[in-house]
Amino acid sequence: MNAGDILFSVTPHPVLIDLTHSMKQGMPSWPTDPPYRHKTLEIDGQEELFMHYEISLDEHSGTHVDAPRHRYAEGNSIDCMPLPQFYGHAVKIEAAQIGKCGLLTKKDIAEWEAAYMQIRSGDIVVLHFGWDQFWEDKTKFLKNWPGISEEAARYLIDKQIKGVGTDALSIDQYGSLNFPAHEILLKQEITIIENLANLEKLPLEFFFMALPLKIEAGSGSPVRAVGWYNE
């Protein structure tokens, strides 16, 4: 039994934290992506009306995961990624001090480890930049967000983690032209989770799950991300 299983099984009533933004029209999205749409469908000629909607969205809408195929045509698509990639023992690195357009460095991560705990093989590392506070204001959320440096991404690979999450629009900082963190992490089949919410409600160590839709040949998928821990 690994650390994540132990954390999950200690109590039948863990504290659950929803880490997902609600999908709604007008929410922030990558500037070149099609917007999320939610349209009411009406059913004629029925004795009773069953309400349902038609939705249209990009694979990377809202809180979502990136599959390796997002950056590499030969990489795994979202439907082919092993399920354990989407859940497990997680640690939260407080990174609000990084600031606008900043980069979390290898030194920052090493200093966090020295102060709190070592990142272990199989961990999911979640970065709390505090950027989700701007989610309702696209003029702020869609620019100047911080990210992770190339050196830091390589350091996490050496740690043999299986996922990296952020509460910003991208794991790469605003204005990046070559997206090095995406390049490095996805090439190693490491899951990227973006647009997380409510990370401030979590302790530094918790259990994480973000299951995607099983989209054939998909480059990513919206998720319902959840974190939980024992009081």
Domain that holds residue 201: 3-28+59-229
Q: Is 159 among the domain residues?
A: yes
Number of domains the chain is built from: 1
For residue 154, is it within any domain?
yes
| Structural domain contains residue 191 | yes
CATH number for the domain that contains residue 128: 3.50.30.50
Q: Which two tokens stand for residue 231?
A: 């009081």
* Tokens linked to 135: 């989610």
User: Is this prediction's pTM over 0.95?
Assistant: no
Residue-level pLDDT at 4: 47
The pLDDT of residue 51: 77
Per residue of the chain (231 residues), what is the pLDDT tens digit? 454 454 455 566 789 999 999 999 999 999 899 999 999 887 665 666 777 889 999 999 999 999 999 999 889 999 999 999 999 999 999 999 999 999 999 999 999 999 999 999 999 999 999 999 999 999 999 999 999 999 999 999 999 999 999 999 999 999 999 999 999 999 999 999 999 999 999 999 999 999 999 999 999 999 999 999 988
- In the chain, the DSSP E strands lie at 15-18, 37-41, 52-56, 64-66, 87-94, 103-104, 124-128, 147-148, 163-166, 191-194, 205-212, 220-229
Q: Any idea what DSSP says for residue 77?
A: P
Kindly list the distances between the CA atom of residue 192 and the CA atoms of 25, 44, 218, 219, 230, in Å, as whole numbers in the listed order.
Answer: 24, 43, 14, 11, 25
The per-residue pLDDT for 134 is: 97
